[in-house]
Amino acid sequence: MAARVACASIAPTAKHTATVIFLHGLGDTGDGWCQEFRSRAQHPWIKYIFPHAPTQPVSLNMGMNMPSWFDIKGLSPDAPQDEVGLKKSSDLLRSIIDEEAKSIPSERIVIGGFSQGGAVAIYTSLTSDIKLGGLLAFSTWLPLHTKVMDIVKDANKKVPTLQCHGDIDPMVPFTWGKMTAMLLKQLNPEHEMCKLSGVMHSSSPEEMEQCRKFLLKSLPSQ
């Protein structure tokens, strides 16, 4: 595991043949998602890693310090974006991927995240030269949407992708999720979008069941 980031984790209970790396949302830590996966989407051959974001000022919250993968300056699609911070967190995620790929094939690694963490995971998947095993994108959006299509690499253009989004999400509107899905489907025929009826900006049992099945299919037992 990369030494420069603190993480919650779930150790495999059988021979380790796959890894999931999942990034939490703004103001959170990896601990809650660790518990969620332990309860609803754990497979014995998979190691689960839940990095904790660094604490830093967030413009959207009047510059208050909180766990954040990058600065958020506004909630509109045309708001300025923290490209430097996004890339820094993407590099951190890549370092964890690289560490795991020392012991298992990179195609046996799924990355993902919720909200802000999902944005980092999407960006990393699209811009990485390392072929991954899958992408989980929960209640999130495509960052740098006006630029990212110009820097997409070929490695993960067909990576299995599960995107889930609540249809009454007040923080990251479902319309953003639909626009993200539309753009990603142009690149990736293996992209699947799941609408979560009556779900706000949170996880749900339906989402985690979809996740459990996705991991079973993308990272089957060996």
Name, in order, each residue with C-beta under 8 angstroms of 217's C-beta and a sequence gap of 6 or more: 160
Q: 162-216 pLDDT, tens per residue?
A: 999 999 999 999 999 999 999 999 989 999 999 999 999 999 999 999 999 999 9
User: CB-based burial of residue 151 (10 Å sphere; 0-12 exposed, 13-18 middle, 19+ buried)?
Assistant: exposed
pTM of the model: 0.96
pLDDT exceeding 90 applies to what percent of the chain?
89
Q: Which residues belong to the active site?
A: 115, 169, 201
Question: Is the pLDDT reported for residue 146 higher than 90?
Answer: no
**What is d(CA 197, CA 21) in angstroms, rounded to the nearest whole number?**
26
pLDDT at 3: 44
Name, in order, each residue with C-beta under 8 angstroms of 41's C-beta and a sequence gap of 6 or more: 208, 209, 211, 212, 215
Q: Quick one: residue 63, left, alpha or beta (phi over 0 = left, psi -120 to 50 = alpha)?
A: left
Q: Report the pLDDT averaged over residues 42-58.
A: 97
pLDDT at 178: 96
Q: Report the pLDDT averaged over residues 66-74.
A: 95
User: CB-based burial of residue 68 (10 Å sphere; 0-12 exposed, 13-18 middle, 19+ buried)?
Assistant: buried
Q: 207-222 pLDDT, tens per residue?
A: 999 999 999 999 999 8
**What is d(CA 150, CA 153) in angstroms, rounded to the nearest whole number?**
9
pLDDT exceeding 70 applies to what percent of the chain?
98
Question: Is the pLDDT reported for residue 64 higher than 70?
Answer: yes
**What is d(CA 129, CA 190) in angstroms, rounded to the nearest whole number?**
18
Question: Is the pLDDT reported for residue 2 higher than 70?
Answer: no
**pLDDT level of residue 77 (50, 70, 90 thresholds):** confident
In this structure, how many other beta carbons lie within 10 angstroms of the beta carbon of residue 198?
9
Q: Position of tokens 């046996």? A: 108
Q: Report the pLDDT averaged over residues 87-96.
A: 97
**What homologous superfamily does CATH list for 7-218?**
Alpha/Beta hydrolase fold, catalytic domain (3.40.50.1820)
